[in-house]
Chain A
Amino acid sequence: MTPDPLDALRLPIVPVVPRLEFAAALLRRLEERERPRIRRTATVRYFVNDLDAAVAFYCQNLDFEEELRPSPVFTMLYRGDLRLLLSVPGGPGGAHTLPDGTVPEPGGWNRISLQVADLTATVDTLRDRGVLFRTDVAVGVGVTQILVQDPSGNLVELFEPRAGYHERAPAPGQGGSFG
């Protein structure tokens, strides 16, 4: 039988040993491409007088989760794409007393605004739990809203979008808060 001239070009057959580590690493890389680890998050710092009371308030009433509490005067909470840092005045770093001796304090009018699906129902539930509101539900241009007070007197705004609400579309190829 005449040898096939193409045999000279054929590569030898090498047995392939399955390598689980390689497969796992490849899968991980593919998943990371699909779902980037990079998560950009808006960060806000609030001052509170009582860290435990504040954590209980934000986690029980407003769906925050405590991420880490590296010290008795600082904690980091998350709610979706918001990171909320709670600091006790006079602590280290961001809670630092100013060079002129001024100590940061809770309160003021600047606030985070959290979107809820049904403002009326949310307000009813929170009122039943004894949460304090500084206003009644107010109808604005793009949203209906209300001001909640945390145990230290900081404000949180809850809003429900109305027809005129403006929501910026995510950039192409990006979903949700990943970017």
Chain B
Amino acid sequence: MSTVSVRYIVNDVDAAIAFYCQHLGFREEMHPAPAFAMLSRGDLRLVLVSPVGPDQRGGGSRPMPDGRKQEPGGWNRFMLEVSDLAGTVDAMRNEGVHFRNDIVTGVGGKQIMLDDPSGNPVEMFEPTRPEARLSIR
């Protein structure tokens, strides 16, 4: 049973659900409040929250004690393994998905970064070395 999840801050939870489910194969697990949804894809659990005020429910997206608000963006991201990166990217570009860069070749695989509707990055990679594969440790 998964004991880990990833939390992304998004501006619009409904738009984010549509994006992750339509383009990246996620499934909606629950959406019990406008500012909170939980999606899953394999063993990855993705929690989507939109920033709420200090007095609202939703402990994960309230401002900090010093008043700083949580916001989308940054560079830290989760990664999804695909078997044909070039083909996947072509298909997703045709669907209007925005990519931050072009395919780059790294040490263990080829990869690319795309943006969700709030500007959060998602990395897709195609392993080129066996130890970089997700499915085998």
Can you pick out 7 interface pairs between chain A and chain B where the beta carbons lie within 8 Å of each other? A43-B79, A67-B137, A68-B131, A78-B137, A93-B104, A106-B75, A168-B1
Query: Closest residue to A115 on the B side, CB-wise?
Result: B3
Are A111 and B3 neighbours in the complex by a CB distance under 8 Å? Answer: no
> Which residues from 130 to 169 on chain A have a C-beta closer than 8 Å to any C-beta of chain B?
134-136, 138-141, 143-145, 154, 157, 166-168
Q: Which of A6-14, A20-28, A34-42 is the contact stretch?
A: A34-42
Interface size class of A (residues with CB under 8 A): 35 or more
> Which residues from 1 to 41 on chain B have a C-beta closer than 8 Å to any C-beta of chain A?
1-9, 29-30, 32-33, 36, 38, 40
How many Å from the CB of B112 to the closest CB on chain A? 10
Query: Closest residue to B5 on the A side, CB-wise?
Result: A113
Are A96 and B104 neighbours in the complex by a CB distance under 8 Å? Answer: yes
Are B108 and A43 neighbours in the complex by a CB distance under 8 Å? Answer: no
Are A177 and B2 neighbours in the complex by a CB distance under 8 Å? Answer: yes
B42 within 8 A of A: yes
Are B4 and A80 neighbours in the complex by a CB distance under 8 Å? Answer: yes
> Which residues from 72 to 128 on chain A have a C-beta closer than 8 Å to any C-beta of chain B?
74, 78-83, 85, 89, 92-94, 96, 98-99, 104-115
Give A119 to B30 CA distance when docked, in angstroms: 24
Most chain A C-beta atoms within 10 Å of own C-beta, residue among B4, B73, B106: B4
Given known contacts A109-B74, A110-B74, A141-B58, A135 and B64 CB-to-CB distance under 8 angstroms: yes
Which residues of chain B are within 8 angstroms of A85 by Cβ–Cβ distance?
Answer: 79
If A42-B44, A105-B75 are given as contacts, then 11 extra A-B residue pairs at C-beta distance below 8 Å, sorted by A number, are A40-B42, A41-B43, A44-B6, A67-B137, A93-B105, A108-B75, A113-B4, A114-B4, A141-B57, A166-B29, A179-B43
Are A107 and B74 neighbours in the complex by a CB distance under 8 Å? Answer: yes
Q: How many A-B residue pairs have CB under 8 A?
A: 163
A58 within 8 A of B: no
> Which residues from 13 to 60 on chain A have a C-beta closer than 8 Å to any C-beta of chain B?
37-47
A2 within 8 A of B: no
A38, A71, A94: which contacts B125 (Cβ < 8 A)? A94
Which residues of chain B are within 8 angstroms of A93 by Cβ–Cβ distance?
Answer: 104-109, 111
Query: Closest residue to A102 on the B side, CB-wise?
Result: B100
Which residues of chain A are within 8 angstroms of B87 by Cβ–Cβ distance?
Answer: none
B32, B101, B107: which contacts A74 (Cβ < 8 A)? B107
Are B6 and A110 neighbours in the complex by a CB distance under 8 Å? Answer: yes
How many Å from the CB of A90 to the closest CB on chain B? 12
Give A83 to B135 CA distance when docked, in angstroms: 11
Are B58 and A113 neighbours in the complex by a CB distance under 8 Å? Answer: no
B3, B79, B100: which contacts A81 (Cβ < 8 A)? B3
Which residues of chain B are within 8 angstroms of A104 by Cβ–Cβ distance?
Answer: 75
Give A114 to B4 CA distance when docked, in angstroms: 5
